[in-house]
Structure 1
Amino acid sequence: MTTTTAVPLRLPANAAGLTTRPLTRDDAGAVTTLMGACEQQDVGEVLIEEADIVGDWQRPAFDLASQSVAVLDGERLVAYAEVYKGRWADAAVDPAYRGRGIGTALSQWTRALAARDGGTLVGQPVPGESPGERLLESLGYRALWTSWVLGMPAGRAIDPQPVPAGYAIREPRDEADLRATWTVNEDAFLEWSDRERSTFEEWTATVSRRPGYEPWQLRLMVDPTDDVVGMAFVVVSSGCAYVDKLAVRRDERGRGLARALLVDAFEVARDHGGERSELSTDSRTGALGLYQKVGMQVTSVWRHWAADVTPDHVVAPD
C-alpha cells in the first residue's frame, strides 16, 4: 500500500490562532461561500456555485485528502487551496483576512504540493487588477494568458443562425452520445490548450455527473448521418445561462455551427430560467472577437498566473 506524504501549510506569525486541515466533501458549501465573497469583492458579482466545486472534486484523478488544505478561524473557513495533477491550482483568502500573509503561505504550499506530485509549473486564474494578481506577480509568477467573462446585455439576443440542411441539434440519448461528445470537446480544446487529454470519467464529472445535470443542458450538433460534430454545455444558476463548453469538430467549421449551438443553448436555457446569458473565453482560442461580434460584452477580466516548480520547493513534513 502506498501513501502520499502530506504537505504542511506553514502559516505566518500574524495568522496565529488559525488552524489548518485537508478539505472534505462536506466543505463544498463553505468553499463556495468563500469563493463567492472573493468574487463579489474583486469582480462585483458571484460566478461560482456549489455544483462547480462538487464536480471538480469528484474527478477521479483528484484526491481531496492529499491535494487540498483549509484554513479555519474556529469553525469558519477563511482560506483554502488545492492543486490538481500537480499543475492546476485554486486558492482564495477571505477579504477580511487578507494582508496577513496567508496568500503567500498558500502560494508556497501549492508549489510544494506540485513539486511533490511531479509538477514543473503551477498556476491559477485570478481576477485582473485584483489583490490576488498583485500578490502573485510580487511572488514571481508570470501571466500566461488572459480570460474574459462576457455577457449579453439585458433585452438583447444573438441573431438566429440557421442550422445547415441535414444537420440538427438534440440532447444526448445514451453513453455512446456522451463519448462522442467528449471526443469532439477534447479534440477541439487540445488544439490550443497545453494539458493532457482528460479521460471520459474526468469529463463526465463536470458535465453529465455534475450535481443537478439534466440532458437538455448538453446540446449536440449532429450531421446528416447523426454523428456528433459539435457540442455546447449550458448551466443555469441564479437566473443566468452560462455556456461552460462550446466546440465544433475542425472539419465542420465555417458552417455557422458554433453560433447555431450558442443561440440554441441560450434559448433552451431561457426556458429553464436563464434570463441572462454569459460565457467565457481566453486569449489562446482567438474567439473573443467572435463573441463580441454577436453582441456580447466583457464583464470581467481574469489572467492565469503561473510559477515554475522545482524539487527544491518540496517541504519536509513537520
Structure 2
Amino acid sequence: MDVNRGGGLGAPGRLPGYLFRPYRGDEDHLAMAAVRLGCAGRDEVDARSVVEGIPTAAEIAEASAELDNPSENQVLVEHNGDIVGYATIRWWQERDGTWLYLHRGYLLPDHRGAGIGSDMLSWAESRIRHLVQHHGTARTAVFGANAMASETDSTQLLLETGHRRVFSLVELELADLRSLPEYDGRLPAGVTVGAVDPTSYHAAWKTVVDSYAQAAFTEKWTFERFLATAVPTCWRAAWHEDQLAGVALCSLRRHDPTVGEVEELSVRAESRRLGLGRALLLDGLRSLREHGAESARLYTGTANPHRSYDLYESVGFRRQNEYVRYRKPIGI
C-alpha cells in the first residue's frame, strides 16, 4: 500500500530516523497499545474511562477491525524501527446530513515538539481530502478531531491548525456502588419500572433517538445498529400505563465487568419532571451492582438542556475529565 495515496506522507522528512508506514494488522497491536500507555502520564489519561481510556492490544485489534480499509486509514510512525505513534481516520454521517471525518493521533511524549505531530496531522488531512473526493461528500464534509482537556499538546496543535471547539463531553464516576442512595419507590400513578423485554426494544431505541432530535453533532443511529450492540441484562424502562416513558440502558464493561456504564438515560418529553429519570437511574445502577459492578461511569454533554448533570451528582457521580470535540472546514 502506498501511504502517499491521496497526497499523504511516506515519511515526515524533518528528522532522520522517522518513517510513516501503513498499519500491518496483528503485528502492530502490542506496539500501538504501548504507545497509548506511554502517552497516559503526560496526557493525564483516565485508565478506567468509558470515553477514551488506555486500551489493551485486544481492544485496539477490535477497533482496527471496525475501520474501513484499516491499512489505508491508519498510519504508524516509526523511529529507528520502533513504533512511537499512530493516527487513525474514521467517518460517519450525522443526523443533520453532515459527513464527519474524524482523525485521532497519538505520539509518545519524547517525540513531540519536533514537528512529527504536525506531519501526522498533515497526513490525516490529506488522506481525508482524498476520501471526501472519492465519496462525493464535499458539500457537507468537515474535519473532526478529539482531545481531552488534559491533552495540552494536542489541544495546542489543533487550535494552531484552524480547528475550533464545538462542544465537549464530561465523564462522571460513581466510585462505589455500595453507596447508592435509597429510593423511596414512589412513582406517579400509572407508572411502573422494570426490565426491558425484546418486544420493547424498538420503543426503547425510539425513546433514545427522539431525545436527540434537537441535538447537534449527533450520529445517525439505526435500529439495526442498536440491535447489533444490544446487551439488555441491565436495561430498565418506565411505562406509563401501556406506553414506554423512559429508559436507562446500562451495561457492564466487556473487558472489565467490575465497571458499569450508564450508556443512555432518556425520558420522553411528556413524562419529564415526574421523577422518572432518578427512578430509572437508581434502578439501573442497582442492577449493575447486582451483576457484579463495583463502580459506574457515564458521560454527558456539558451544555445539557435537561440538567441531567445535576441528577447524576445527586446520586453520587463526580466529574473526572472533559473530552473536547473540534471541527474544521475541509475546503476542497
Per the TM superposition, whether the score is higher than 0.5 is yes
Instruction: Give the structure 2 partner of residue 8 of structure 1.
Output: 8
Q: Which has the higher contact order (CA 8 A, sep 6+)?
A: 1
Aligned partners of 1:256, 1:129: CA distance in 2, in Å?
Answer: 35
User: Which stretch of the first structure deviates more once superposed, 220-229 or 240-249?
Assistant: 220-229
| Coordinate RMSD, CA, aligned | 3.4
TM-score normalized with structure 1 length:
0.77
What displacement does 1:216 show?
0.9
Give structure 1 regions of 4+ aligned residues with deviation exceeding 6 angstroms.
Answer: none
1:92 to 95, 98, 106: 106
Q: Does 1:192 align with 2:199?
A: no
Q: Does 1:234 align with 2:248?
A: no
Q: Does 1:282 align with 2:301?
A: yes
Aligned partners of 2:209, 2:181: CA distance in 1, in Å?
Answer: 26
Q: Does 1:262 align with 2:281?
A: yes
What displacement does 1:170 show?
0.6
Q: Are the counterparts in 2 of residues 223 and 229 from structure 1 also a CA contact under 8 Å?
A: no
Aligned partners of 2:296, 2:116: CA distance in 1, in Å?
Answer: 35
Q: Are the counterparts in 1 of residues 7 and 126 from structure 2 also a CA contact under 8 Å?
A: yes
What displacement does 1:305 show?
1.9
What displacement does 1:294 show?
3.3
Instruction: Give the structure 2 partner of residue 126 of structure 1.
Output: 147
Instruction: Give the structure 2 partner of residue 64 of structure 1.
Output: 70
Q: Does 1:107 align with 2:155?
A: no
1:83 to 84, 90, 105: 90
Aligned partners of 1:223, 1:23: CA distance in 2, in Å?
Answer: 53
Aligned partners of 1:99, 1:32: CA distance in 2, in Å?
Answer: 22
TM-score normalized with structure 2 length:
0.74
Give SS of 1:90's match. Answer: strand
Residues 257/39 of structure 1: CA separation in 2 closer, same or farther (3 Å cut): farther
Residues 260/87 of structure 1: CA separation in 2 closer, same or farther (3 Å cut): farther
Q: How does 1:294-313 map to 2 (within 5 A)?
A: 294-311=315-332
Give SS of 1:187's match. Answer: helix
Q: Does 1:21 align with 2:22?
A: yes
Flag structure 2 segments of 5+ consecutive residues without an equivalent: 93-99
Aligned partners of 2:35, 2:27: CA distance in 1, in Å?
Answer: 14
Q: Are the counterparts in 2 of residues 28 and 54 from structure 1 also a CA contact under 8 Å?
A: yes
Q: Does 1:144 align with 2:151?
A: no
Q: Does 1:181 align with 2:188?
A: no
Residues 290/80 of structure 1: CA separation in 2 closer, same or farther (3 Å cut): same
Residues 102/200 of structure 1: CA separation in 2 closer, same or farther (3 Å cut): farther
Aligned partners of 2:31, 2:225: CA distance in 1, in Å?
Answer: 23
Q: Are the counterparts in 2 of residues 110 and 122 from structure 1 also a CA contact under 8 Å?
A: no
1:194-226 alpha-carbon deviations (Å, 9 max, x no partner): 245222334445x32xxxxx4314334344326
Residues 157/11 of structure 1: CA separation in 2 closer, same or farther (3 Å cut): farther
- For 2:43, the aligned partner's letter is D
Instruction: Give the structure 2 partner of residue 314 of structure 1.
Output: none
1:294-313 alpha-carbon deviations (Å, 9 max, x no partner): 332211122112222111xx
User: Which stretch of the first structure deviates more once superposed, 300-309 or 226-235?
Assistant: 226-235
Name which one, 1 or 2, has greater alpha-carbon Rg.
Answer: 2
Give SS of 1:18's match. Answer: strand
Instruction: Give the structure 2 partner of residue 273 of structure 1.
Output: 292
Give SS of 1:103's match. Answer: helix
Instruction: Give the structure 2 partner of residue 160 of structure 1.
Output: 183
